[in-house]
Structure 1
């Protein structure tokens, strides 16, 4: 059995908004993607918190998790992630405790340390932009206390949330969360879908620092990565220009709404290098090419699970890519 056949596959979605369309259509696309992933046997469907970005409709992440979970049957639904510095731990415990009560054994809580917003947006979130994130371990411990078995002298409890034991993951794109996840014995997810440069270093650090806990006996690392599978290699690379345009426009300070694929991109060598750095972990091609690429990636990283980002413009192309990838995984 190949490494790919042994490795669970999951999906990360940012509810991308296509240029000229609205949020309702973006959310309908997310539900359709989750239902397809559910039917094909993918393990998880996660949604990411971003604010003040015109191309992403998943800002109210907990609300969208509930909507997606209510329209699927089996797949685990969660956050990839909730940016904990933006929230009171008690509120997140109550939200995810409620989700766990509505959808038992199907909810994951992935947590990020970065605020995921600029200074003005942080102020709008009622967060001091100069406060930093140095208190993340304390916030995390508080949140886990609200989700765990109540302590005898605990004055404040999350209702719902207390004693729900919602699975907590730490997410990151550098070594900080990798080290913390290892020290706490928590599962770790690396965001190679946009920042692959420190992937191998972070995974090695996580495994080196890992201490067994009541959650895990041994390290469990998931890697987020861009993957596009199409019926031909040329068409897959054509579809990939949507993601390339998104990162290009991000670097240019322009709208990041989803654009149709193009035959050729108008970019400078420096811009191309910057975009390729963001998308350095991408595996794009026909079935044979993607199989070989993912086998090599798994051999190199030892990832326990892959969380796939398929950022293409048309719904039918996203669904087709999930179908083809599921066929590869089944062998």
Structure 2
């Protein structure tokens, strides 16, 4: 049975506020916890007016405090932006506060444009190609200085050493799949916005996987957009907020999440529609029956162990309804 998780970008809507976005995040997390979702993740993005999860570890703490049992974590932390020791301390703190519930997904993208990345890092000398080394360094801090792995640095992360934080490797290319396979870690592919290399990446991950102390066989996850409503027409209408956001982002004009617009795709030319068809091909938009069919086809094709649901809907109540429909489908996936 395929598990379902939620990836929440903590959207800031047009006319909305950051405080509202954070309150909605806690409410959505409680909602999917009650619905039986396996985990709730937020992602590190910077310099984007429509995404409120830049201080990712703080948002995770906020959501974990508002929930009781669901796993909460990062999908993910962009490790080249940070010292591995600082991330070990942050997530070691979260694990101490919410034991057995904290996930740490790791990626190597900047989570921003180059100008914002420069402001984050002060220098771009931190090389994304050193990502595997940084993951190993982070693992050493969690292992503790008195272990074989931790002894590589001789530094004790406090908090951090001995923390039970589950690590995941994220990616949208073959590179992340290779890293996850080599380290014997779970792998999550960002097919909800970059689906092109999904099948090849899953094959590389499964073919090259090496069992580790934390995982004896591959565990694959994939992002998938679900926007569900009682009718196909209503779901297509709700999905136009996500579609507008993607077009604005790809054309260099990002902003807060816009309200839905009837007939939005009819206003786009061939180029705009082709863009959406490409980046959002891993999506199910429609009534319960339509979504069930598309989810089943995606799972049959990919054989993923867990589906990471992204659900970008402007109206909070409509978003909760969409996730309720997804939860029903999850029981039979």
Number of the residue aligned with 2:310:
309
From 49, 56, 63, the equivalent of 1:61 is: 56
Equivalent position SS for 2:196: helix
Greater shift, 161-170 or 75-84, is seen at 161-170
Hey, what's the Cα distance between the residues in 2 that align with 1:149 and 1:214? 15
Number of the residue aligned with 1:262:
261
Greater shift, 273-282 or 310-319, is seen at 273-282
Greater shift, 81-90 or 164-173, is seen at 164-173
Hey, what's the Cα distance between the residues in 2 that align with 1:322 and 1:213? 34
How far the C-alpha of 1:186 sits from its partner, in A, is 0.3
How far the C-alpha of 1:182 sits from its partner, in A, is 0.6
Q: TM-score, normalised by structure 2?
A: 0.95
Q: Note the 1:90-169 alignment, pairs <5 A.
A: 90-129=85-124, 131-151=126-146, 153=151, 154-169=153-168
How far the C-alpha of 1:126 sits from its partner, in A, is 2.7
Number of the residue aligned with 2:298:
297
From 20, 34, 45, the equivalent of 2:15 is: 20
Provide the aligned length of Structure 1 versus Structure 2. Answer: 326
Equivalent position SS for 1:81: strand
Asked whether the 8 Å contact 2:32–2:323 carries over to 1, the reply is: yes
Q: Does 1:237 align with 2:232?
A: no
Asked whether the 8 Å contact 2:80–2:126 carries over to 1, the reply is: no
Number of the residue aligned with 1:179:
178
* Gap change, CA 1:22 and 1:151, over 3 Å in 2: same
Equivalent position SS for 1:164: coil
Equivalent position SS for 1:169: strand
Asked whether the 8 Å contact 1:86–1:127 carries over to 2, the reply is: no
- Note the alpha carbon deviations across 1:239-294, whole angstroms, 9 max, x for none: 11110000111122113311111112222211221122111111111111111111
Equivalent position SS for 1:69: helix
How far the C-alpha of 1:329 sits from its partner, in A, is 2.1
Gaps of 5+ in 2: none
- Note the alpha carbon deviations across 1:51-99, whole angstroms, 9 max, x for none: 0011100000000000000000110000000000000000000000000
Hey, what's the Cα distance between the residues in 2 that align with 1:78 and 1:185? 19
Asked whether the 8 Å contact 1:150–1:163 carries over to 2, the reply is: no
Equivalent position SS for 1:129: coil
Number of the residue aligned with 1:3:
none
Hey, what's the Cα distance between the residues in 2 that align with 1:17 and 1:253? 18
